[in-house]
């Protein structure tokens, strides 16, 4: 037992070295396999740069080589497991962090190796593929930039410098100048951001860039472009912007304005209304001018400087032709290119032109009254105010016939015409005639007509011509004035006399009118009274007729009712008589019985008792009787209280008769006895 146990423990102890040996062999085999396969593992966010110690010789002066060549390979190992094979034995793998470009930045690439750049160039061309074959780019700062993100690049080949993106805020814009590229051979001062073809060469030429950058973020390579941030051009309200292209192809000789989308130099036809604009000031000069404002009471006459030529002799033209447009602008605000269309503002309200002796009051600002010599050689002067108006629809014609300077044209028409007329017509009148109102009125009226004739062709409406402040020599004026005063006094006296006659006549007529009015009122009142009396008579007649009609109706009603009551009374009387006879008979029978009874014993007491019983029976019979004791209606008799009294008297008479009868039946002495003391 002990021997077996010892052997067993020995076997167990000998198993540990075997396991260790087996594990070691496995590890060696695994290492040998990895070496044989050339396995290389690159972690996340890393790149592997390979350097080969064997291979073909590299080009002179270059240290970045392609796969299979001796040197630092251009291509890198990205994160993951790579199998290099046996070449792993002569290659070195160096791990570097991958390049991370954060948001808002770009990477400017500088190639540390590559083809040499042409002389004069400052930007190197990038690597490229041509027909499936890789072509290495040039050594130096590359054209393209790296955008935000992770890039697996060879740090031995490319050096990357982080730069801020170009940020253009609101209401600003960017103007670019390209520093790299060939110089345009045609002398162009503006180039495009896109490749251009000049003289058979397609390239991104050097120079000022035509396009501008609007607000936003741009990955602009600062090694290629210089930029300038500009404030947007603000065209405020009531203004208009004019562009003048200073760089471009000369336009044809007959082209006054050029189109915005063309390449011609010159004044751009299109205008910019109020707003913000991004204008390349390398290409354009810019003007901000007032928009055309036509106020109330004015119109704007458009004079077009562009378009087709109008036929000879045409004063007003339609749109599309050069010249004065037929239709004027009504009041409002217009964004018009003044280099294309000139607008002449015409006042269409009533205006005046004044010539007066009072300095600083008339249109000329000096003593400007009209002076002329009368027929009898006296100097006469007078002030003149002319009120005129240009109607809106005639404004283009006025401009066409008188020109743009309306004030000057008015002066050239109204002023000379008025002065010429005054001198010619005034010289035909004597000085004293200008004192009289009739002569003045005719002189003023004739002047008005003359001015209307002179302005008919130009379509200016002369509303009035007012002559005033006549200056006449005192030696002529005083006698005429005294004579005029005397004549006026005479006229006044005559007028007063006529007025008094008229007043007297008026008084007489007034009295007649008043008398006629009174008579009319009296007749009216009489007529009214007659009408009233007739109305009252008619009313009384109608009332009488209605009262008679009512009386007849009442009488008929009473007759009917009387007849009815009579018949009822007769019936009731008959019933009462029958009832009375019945009671009398009953009483008589009873009295006979009692008489016999009293006569039988002759006792007074029984007779009295019988008498009382008889009276009671009669009283009860009277009480129980419901009818009338006498007729209610007695033809020819009384009514009311007297009828009632008669009824009572009849009842009393009946009672007396019954009493007497009863006493007689009882053999009683009813004669009143005399009593003494």
Q: What is the DSSP letter of 78?
A: P
* Four-CA torsion 514, 520, 522, 525, nearest 10 degrees: -130
Query: How many Cβ atoms from other residues are within 10 Å of residue 217's Cβ?
Result: 13
Query: Is residue 6 predicted with pLDDT exceeding 50?
Result: no
- The distance in angstroms from the start CA to the end CA of the chain is 199
CB 157 within 8 A of CB 111: yes
* 588-610 residue pLDDT tens: 666 665 555 455 444 555 666 66
Could you tell me the two tokens for 60?
Answer: 């002179």
Which candidate, 338, 339, 342, places its Cα nearest to that of 323? 342
Q: The dihedral of CA 554, 560, 566, 572: what is its sign?
A: negative
More confident position, 619 or 191: 191
Q: Is 540 helix (H, G, I), strand (E, B) or coil?
A: helix
Instruction: Output the pLDDT for position 32.
Output: 61
Q: At what angle do helices 474-601 and 604-624 cross, to 10 degrees?
A: 150
Query: How many Cβ atoms from other residues are within 10 Å of residue 208's Cβ?
Result: 17
Burial 346-375 (b: 16+ CB within 10 A, else e): bebeebebbbbbeeeebbeeeebbbebebe
Residues 240, 286: Cα–Cα separation, whole Å = 11
Residues 462, 384: Cα–Cα separation, whole Å = 13
Q: Which residues contact 396 (CB under 8 A, 6 or more apart)?
A: 301, 316, 324, 325, 326, 327, 328
* 636-664 residue pLDDT tens: 444 444 444 444 455 556 666 666 666 66
Residues 216, 194: Cα–Cα separation, whole Å = 19
CB 360 within 8 A of CB 292: no
Among 84-88, 379-383, 420-424, 557-561, which is the least confidently predicted range? 557-561
Tell me the sheet residues that pair with 257: 267
Residue entry with tokens 């390239």: 203
Which candidate, 181, 176, 187, 175, places its Cα nearest to that of 205? 181
| pTM, 2 dp | 0.59
CB 190 within 8 A of CB 208: yes
Residue entry with tokens 């008188």: 402
E strands, 356-440, where?
370-373, 379-389
Residues 40, 667: Cα–Cα separation, whole Å = 187
CB 141 within 8 A of CB 198: no
Burial 31-64 (b: 16+ CB within 10 A, else e): eeeeeeebebebeeebbbbbbbeebeebeeeeeb
Which candidate, 175, 177, 199, places its Cα nearest to that of 189? 177
**Top-ranked range on mean pLDDT: pick from 89-98, 351-360, 606-615:** 89-98
Instruction: Output the pLDDT for position 359.
Output: 79
Average pLDDT over residues 109-132: 91
Burial of 170: CB neighbours in 10 Å, binned 0-12, 13-18, 19+: exposed
Instruction: Output the pLDDT for position 209.
Output: 95
* 11-58 residue pLDDT tens: 555 556 777 887 777 777 666 666 666 788 999 999 999 998 888 766
Instruction: Output the pLDDT for position 99.
Output: 96
CB 310 within 8 A of CB 323: yes
Which candidate, 556, 633, 622, 631, places its Cα nearest to that of 587? 622
CB 617 within 8 A of CB 590: yes
Average pLDDT over residues 340-354: 93
CB 105 within 8 A of CB 148: yes
Instruction: Output the pLDDT for position 379.
Output: 87
Could you tell me the two tokens for 514?
Answer: 């008043």
Please report, rounded to a whole number, the percentage of residues in the chain having pLDDT higher than 70: 81
Q: What is the DSSP letter of 257?
A: E
- Residue 473's pLDDT band, with cuts at 50, 70 and 90, is confident
Residues 406, 345: Cα–Cα separation, whole Å = 9
CA atoms within 13 A of residue 321's CA, in its CB half-sphere: 14
Among 59-63, 180-184, 228-232, 666-670, which is the least confidently predicted range? 666-670
Query: Is residue 114 predicted with pLDDT exceeding 80?
Result: yes
Q: pLDDT averaged over the chain?
A: 82
DSSP string, 401-422: HH-S-HHHHHHHHHHHHHHHHH
Instruction: Output the pLDDT for position 645.
Output: 45
Which candidate, 179, 174, 205, places its Cα nearest to that of 192? 205
Which candidate, 463, 456, 428, places its Cα nearest to that of 443? 428
Average pLDDT over residues 295-310: 93
Could you tell me the two tokens for 476?
Answer: 């002529």
């Amino acid at each position: 037992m002990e021997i077996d146990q010892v052997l067993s423990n020995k076997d167990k102890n000998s198993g540990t070295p075997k396991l260790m040996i087996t594990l070691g062999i496995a590890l060696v085999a695994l290492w040998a396999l990895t070496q044989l396969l050339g396995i290389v593992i690159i972690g996340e966010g890393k790149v592997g740069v390979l350097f080969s110690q064997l291979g073909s010789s590299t080009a002179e002066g270059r240290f970045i080589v392609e796969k299979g060549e001796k040197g630092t390979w251009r291509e890198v190992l990205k994160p993951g497991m790579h199998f290099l094979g046996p070449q792993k034995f002569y290659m070195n793998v160096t791990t570097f962090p991958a390049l991370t470009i954060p948001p808002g930045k770009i990477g400017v690439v500088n190639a540390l190796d590559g083809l040499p750049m042409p002389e004069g160039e400052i930007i190197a061309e990038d690597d490229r593929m041509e027909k499936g074959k890789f072509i290495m780019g040039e050594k130096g700062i590359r054209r393209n930039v790296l955008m935000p993100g992770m890039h697996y690049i060879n740090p031995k080949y490319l050096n990357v410098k982080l730069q801020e993106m170009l940020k253009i805020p609101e209401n600003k814009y960017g103007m670019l100048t390209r520093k790299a590229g060939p110089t345009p051979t045609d002398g162009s001062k503006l180039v495009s951001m896109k490749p251009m073809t000049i003289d058979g060469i397609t390239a991104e030429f050097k120079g000022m860039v035509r396009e501008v950058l609007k607000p936003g973020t741009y990955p602009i390579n600062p090694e290629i472009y210089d930029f300038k941030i500009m404030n947007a051009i603000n065209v405020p309200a009531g203004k208009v912007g004019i562009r003048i292209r200073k760089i471009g192809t000369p336009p044809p000789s007959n082209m006054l304005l050029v189109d915005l989308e063309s390449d011609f130099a010159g004044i751009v036809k299109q205008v910019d209304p109020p707003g913000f604009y991004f204008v390349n000031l390398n290409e354009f000069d810019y003007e901000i001018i007032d928009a055309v404002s036509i106020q109330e009471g004015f119109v704007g006459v458009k004079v077009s400087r562009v378009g087709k030529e109008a036929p000879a002799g045409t004063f007003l033209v339609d749109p599309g032709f050069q010249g004065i447009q037929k239709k004027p602008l009504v009041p409002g605000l217009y964004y018009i290119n003044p280099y294309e269309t000139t607008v002449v503002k015409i006042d269409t309200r009533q205006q005046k032109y004044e010539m007066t002796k009072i300095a600083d009051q008339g249109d000329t600002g000096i003593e400007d009254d009209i002076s002329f010599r009368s027929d009898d050689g006296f100097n006469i002067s007078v002030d003149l105010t002319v009120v005129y108006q240009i109607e809106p629809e005639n404004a283009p014609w006025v401009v066409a016939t008188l020109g743009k300077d309306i004030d000057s044209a008015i002066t050239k028409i109204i002023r000379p015409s008025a002065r010429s007329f005054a001198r010619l017509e005034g010289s035909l009148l004597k000085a004293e005639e200008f004192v009289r109102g009739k002569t003045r009125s005719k002189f003023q009226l004739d002047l008005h007509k003359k001015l209307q004739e002179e302005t008919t062709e130009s379509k200016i409406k002369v509303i009035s011509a007012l002559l005033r402040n006549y200056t006449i020599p005192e030696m002529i004026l005083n006698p005429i004035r005294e004579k005029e005063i005397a004549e006026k006094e005479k006229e006044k006296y005559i007028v007063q006399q006529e007025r008094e006659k008229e007043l007297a006549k008026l008084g007489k007529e007034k009295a007649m009118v008043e008398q006629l009015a009174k008579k009319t009122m009296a007749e009216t009142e009489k007529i009214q009274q007659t009408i009233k009396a007739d109305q009252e008579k008619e009313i009384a007649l109608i009332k009488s007729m209605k009262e008679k009609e009512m009386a007849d109706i009442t009488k008929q009603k009473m007759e009917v009712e009387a007849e009815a009551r009579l018949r009822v009374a007769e019936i009731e009387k008959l019933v009462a008589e029958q009832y009375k006879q019945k009671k009398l008979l009953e009483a008589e029978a009873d009295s006979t019985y009692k008489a016999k009874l009293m006569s039988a014993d002759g006792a007074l007491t029984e007779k009295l008792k019988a008498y009382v019983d008889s009276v009671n029976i009669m009283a009860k019979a009277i009480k129980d009787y419901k009818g009338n004791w006498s007729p209610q209606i007695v033809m020819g008799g009384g009514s009311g209280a007297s009828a009632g009294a008669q009824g009572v008297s009849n009842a009393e008479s009946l009672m007396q008769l019954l009493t007497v009868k009863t006493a007689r039946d009882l053999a009683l002495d009813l004669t009143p006895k005399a009593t003494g003391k």
